[in-house]
Amino acid sequence: MKGALDRVKDVNSRTTLSPYTLPHLREFMLSLKNDNYSKKTLDNYARDLEIFSAFLFYIETSFKDITKLDIIEYKGFLRDQNYIPILHAFQKNEELTQEIINKSKSEISEKKKALYKGQLSDNSVNRMLSALRRYLTFLDDIDKEPPLPATAIKMIKAEKKEKQVAEFEELVKLLEYPTEFENDPIVSARNRAILELIFSTGMRISEVVSLDRDMIRIENNAIADSKIYVMGKGKKQRFVYLTERAIHYLNEYLKFRTDEYPAFFIPTKGTRKATENPYIVRISQNYIQMKIAEYRKRLGIIVPTSAHSLRHGFATYLAEEGANPAAIQRLLGHSSLQTTSRYVHASDKFAETAHREHHPLN
């Protein structure tokens, strides 16, 4: 599988589309790599900037000629169109036909929207604009005058939505659902262990997928320590802690693991048979999110719920039980307490109780 730098090299090797490719992009990616950005972050930057190149291809404007008006149009391109057909045409060095343009303007299914394969949320658009701004800053830093100053890239005003989290009882039912629903005993044990782990520790889904068996002290195929040392976002290291309940279900899953794969959570098929590299045999983030969505739908949970929602619920219900916000910040791996405050809010139930019990006219 090609990494971000390899893909950038492939793009820069083109000749017919050279007006639309970004100069010194490989050097920019190397600078990010030298600053110890994670592979996922590098991949995100490479993809986001390639989408900008595809946009230039779409409007037939070379990078050196872009204007502030083009940036305004780019925002609309990301928010209102399905950029995927245009990106594919750019990647394949194909002629941009009217059919492809029409396809990009057609309605996108809700399923594809949910998988972030077309129109983007305001936050996603801002992330892509931020990548472009960072790239323009880099050009200026290496004395290569960019066509626009980085300050010309203005973020869009994102709609502020209060994060919602399902009721505690609903989340518990979600954790338990794989045991009831999954017919395959290995899948049942694994999926239950994944959900219990997230809600026990507040780990990010990327951290769960990256978890290896040697990151947990295991003796006689059973967990012997409730602490896990994880490498989180921004390569920040921290301890997370397992509940006795989570340890039980992780051990139940370990009973099925007679293989030598290093990953803690592995698929039952797919990459296990498609590769000889044991280090890439691990469960995918998409699979976990898909299963959580399926369980939520079957349980009739109204509040949108994902792996991140379990992490959010972990923080919210710790706070409701009186946990110190600074401790929750450390458990979540946040650099700023302000970031944690977005998770640790008073739930609607908590707010209603406070109003009922403390309003002076009640």
| Dihedral pair phi/psi, residue 149, rounded to 5° | -70, 150
The question of whether 343 is a catalytic residue gets the answer yes
For residue 113, the model assigns a pLDDT of 46
The question of whether 358 is a catalytic residue gets the answer no
Question: Which domain covers residue 119, as residue numbers?
Answer: 4-152
The question of whether 311 is a catalytic residue gets the answer yes
Pair 121, 216 in one domain: no
Range of weakest confidence among 70-74, 97-101, 300-304: 97-101
Pair 112, 38 in one domain: yes
For residue 78, the model assigns a pLDDT of 87
The question of whether 245 is a catalytic residue gets the answer no
Tell me which of 95, 120, 152 is where a domain ends: 152
358 part of a folded domain? no
**Percent of the chain beyond pLDDT 70?**
80
> In sequence order, what E strands does the chain have?
218-219, 222-223, 227-231, 237-241
Kind plus residue range of the DSSP H or E element containing 131: helix 122-141
pLDDT category, 117, cuts 50, 70, 90?
Answer: very low
Residue given tokens 């045409």 in the structure block: 89
Active-site residue (options: 24, 103, 233, 330) = 233
Pair 325, 207 in one domain: yes
pLDDT category, 37, cuts 50, 70, 90?
Answer: confident
The question of whether 272 is a catalytic residue gets the answer no
Number of domains observed in the structure of the chain: 2
Can you state the percent helix, strand and coil of the chain, rounding each to 5?
Answer: 60, 5, 35
Q: Which pTM value belongs to this model?
A: 0.68
Range of weakest confidence among 139-148, 209-218, 234-243: 234-243
Q: What would the mean pLDDT of 33-44 be, rounded to a whole number? A: 88
Q: What would the mean pLDDT of 92-101 be, rounded to a whole number? A: 71
Pair 148, 175 in one domain: no
Query: What number of other Cβ atoms are within 10 A of residue 247's Cβ?
Result: 20
Pair 118, 189 in one domain: no
Decide the pairing of beta strands 222-223 and 237-241.
Answer: unpaired
Pair 326, 287 in one domain: yes
The question of whether 334 is a catalytic residue gets the answer yes
Residue given tokens 């070379």 in the structure block: 62
163 part of a folded domain? no
pLDDT category, 92, cuts 50, 70, 90?
Answer: confident
98 part of a folded domain? yes
Active-site residue (options: 113, 117, 308, 345) = 308
**Domain of 328: which CATH number?**
1.10.443.10
- DSSP, collapsed to helix, strand or coil, labels residue 230 as strand
For residue 20, the model assigns a pLDDT of 85
Pair 202, 293 in one domain: yes
Active-site residue (options: 204, 282, 296, 312) = 204
67 part of a folded domain? yes
Pair 210, 304 in one domain: yes
Up-side HSE of residue 169: CA atoms within 13 Å toward CB? 2
User: Do the Cβ atoms of 192 and 183 come closer than 8 Å?
Assistant: no
